[in-house]
């Protein structure tokens, strides 16, 4: 079963804010996109809004078929 498609949308940010996100993301070894997701989840959790955890990305090579 394929994982659900991720929602994409344009996001306009102040250049200084984006630069700060890049620095934080690099420090956490994440992409800016992943860092934004983490920050949004943390902000929602502080407001008491529960969001189901994201399905982790599959890593490594596909399994060999039996046979």
Tens digits of per-residue pLDDT, 24-64? 999 999 999 999 999 999 999 999 999 888 777 778 888 88
Q: How far apart are CA 16 and CA 31, in angstroms?
A: 17
CA–CA separation, 11 vs 22, rounded Å? Answer: 15
> Residue 47: phi, psi to the nearest 5?
-90, 0
Query: Residue for token digits 């989840």?
Result: 41
Q: Would you place residue 3 in the very low, low, confident or very high pLDDT band (cuts 50, 70, 90)?
A: low
pTM over 0.75: no
- How much is the average pLDDT of 7-11? 91
| Confidence band, pLDDT 50/70/90 cuts, at residue 67 | low
List, in order, residues 6 or more apart from 38 with CB less than 8 Å away: 28, 30
Mean pLDDT calculated for residue range 12-17? 97
């Amino acid at each position: 079963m394929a994982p659900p498609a991720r929602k994409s949308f344009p996001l306009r940010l102040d250049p200084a804010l984006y630069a700060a996100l890049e620095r934080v993301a690099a420090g956490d070894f994440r992409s800016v996109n992943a860092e934004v997701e983490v920050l949004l989840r943390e902000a929602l959790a502080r407001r008491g809004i529960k969001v189901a955890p994201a399905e982790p990305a599959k890593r490594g090579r596909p399994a060999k078929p039996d046979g």
